[in-house]
Amino acid sequence: MYEVRAKKHLGQHFLKDENIASRIAESLSPSAKQVLEVGPGTGVLTKYLLKKNFDKFVAVEIDRESAAFLRANYPQLGDGLIEADMLRMDIAGLFEGQFSVIGNFPYNISSQILFRVLENHDQVNEAVGMFQKEVAVRIAAPPGKKDYGILSVLLQAWYDIEYLFTVDPSVFSPPPKVQSAVIRLQRNNTTDLGCSEKLLLQVVKTAFNQRRKTLHNALKPLGDYNGEFAGKRAEQLSVAQFVSLTNVMEDIIASTGTV
């Protein structure tokens, strides 16, 4: 019989509440046909996902112990269980066409997982995940809120984000020291942001790196910005306004050669 010990360096907190696992699985859209589960651990969520008979289901697990446990207890996964680091693999290459991402994400890499979702926004049409509550609130925060930040802007550019429910530490083994939350990202209708995606990332990161400063001062590493948002702070701008700002910064950078 395989036993799995939660490993601190992997940020493992195994979900043990069947009702929560079922709710997470049910949070996927009924139209989901191809699904990637990240970090299945001991398979509490996997069990409910397997019942849905997706056209293709892949579970990626980095932990050797967990992978052995899953092979023993969920043999129906077959080749759909991949022992690898999701952050270092070509997740889009696992599927033809669009797919959904789901998981009880390890909190120490949850932001990196979302950046992988962003990199593959043309194929990832939905993501449902368990996050540290603080991170979930930040991702879903609208402009003007103190939680609104880099991930809020970048993800909301491509996804509609919904905070689904809060989860108590007691449903995990071992229990984390923080509250958790489940959110859902669903691809919006945007096909072209209307600006350089690479520069948008740079502008957003630079603006929020000194979020207490006005954009005139915060953006000085990129150029001398004196446009309509110069007196505002990063958290006050919507995604559309960041797109406009990025286009202005592109012209400033091109004329001065600052970057």
Q: Are residues 141 and 230 in the same domain?
A: no
Q: Are residues 112 and 180 in the same domain?
A: yes
CA count, 13 A, side-chain hemisphere, 110 = 26
Whole-number pLDDT of residue 82: 98
Q: Are residues 78 and 175 in the same domain?
A: yes
Cα 78 to Cα 63: distance, rounded to the nearest angstrom: 17
Whole-number pLDDT of residue 1: 42
Q: Are residues 243 and 146 in the same domain?
A: no
Q: Are residues 103 and 138 in the same domain?
A: yes
Domain final position from 149, 165, 187: 187
In a domain, 3, yes or no: no
Low-confidence ranges of the chain (pLDDT < 70): 1-4, 6-12, 257-259
Domain final position from 168, 187, 206: 187
Whole-number pLDDT of residue 33: 97
In a domain, 37, yes or no: yes
Q: Are residues 146 and 57 in the same domain?
A: yes
In a domain, 42, yes or no: yes
Q: Are residues 135 and 158 in the same domain?
A: yes
In a domain, 135, yes or no: yes
Q: Quote the number of domains for the chain.
A: 2
Q: Are residues 162 and 220 in the same domain?
A: no
Q: What is the span of the domain harbouring residue 136? A: 8-187
Whole-number pLDDT of residue 257: 66
In a domain, 222, yes or no: yes
Q: Are residues 139 and 82 in the same domain?
A: yes
Whole-number pLDDT of residue 52: 96
Q: Are residues 252 and 150 in the same domain?
A: no
Domain final position from 136, 156, 187: 187
Considering the entire predicted model, what is its pTM? 0.93
In a domain, 47, yes or no: yes
